[in-house]
Amino acid sequence: GAGVSQTPSNKVTEKGKYVELRCDPISGHTALYWYRQSLGQGPEFLIYFQGTGAADDSGLPNDRFFAVRPEGSVSTLKIQRTERGDSAVYLCASSSGLAGDEQYFGPGTRLTVT
C-alpha cells in the first residue's frame, strides 16, 4: 500500500508569509505526528494527533504554528508570519496508535524562508 506522503516536497516563501504543509498518512492509521528537523539535527516533535484531536501539542514552538486533522486522516500544518528561523524539513509520520508501534515517516517538506 501507499506510504505517508507530504506535499509540497519543497516550499520557498518570503518572511512574513503564511504557509500550509500537507500530510497524507497511511490509510487506517489513527495516530499522526509532525516533527521539525533543522540542518544537522535530529527531528524535534511538534504535535501528535490521535484521530481528529491533538493528543499532545507540547512541541509547537509558539502560537504562529497550528495543525489540524479535521476528518482524522489528512493533516495540515499551518505557519503564520513565517520567520527565517522556521526554515527546516518538516516530517510527518503515522502509526496504528498502539503502544510502542512503529511510526512510518513521509519524505518531508523542505521549507525555506527568505
Partner 1 sequence: AQTVTQSQPEMSVQEAETVTLSCTYDTSESDYYLFWYKQPPSRQMILVIRQEAYKQQNATENRFSVNFQKAAKSFSLKISDSQLGDAAMYFCAYRSAGARGGKLIFGQGTELSVKP
Q: Tell me which residues touch partner 1 (CB under 8 A).
A: 31, 33, 35, 40-45, 48, 50, 55-56, 59, 89, 91, 93, 95, 97-103, 105-108, 110
| Of 34 and 79, CB closest to partner 1 | 34
| Residue 114: closest CA among 7, 8, 17, 5 | 17
Smallest gap from residue 59 Cβ to partner 1 (A): 7
Closest approach of Cβ 47 to partner 1, in Å? 9
Q: Which residues have C-beta within 8 Å of that of residue 110, sequence separation ≥ 6?
A: 9, 10, 11, 88, 89
CB of 63 to partner 1, least distance (A): 20
The pairing of beta strand 53-56 with beta strand 44-50: antiparallel
- Rounded distance between C-alpha atoms, residue 77 and residue 11, angstroms: 13
Measuring CA to CA, which residue among 98, 81, 106, 90 is closest to residue 26? 106
CB neighbours (10 Å) of residue 70?
Answer: 9
Q: Which is nearer to partner 1, 45 or 66 (CB)?
A: 45
Closest CB to partner 1 among residues 10, 114: 10
CB of 55 or CB of 81, closer to partner 1: 55
Please report how close the Cβ of residue 64 comes to partner 1 at its closest, in angstroms: 20
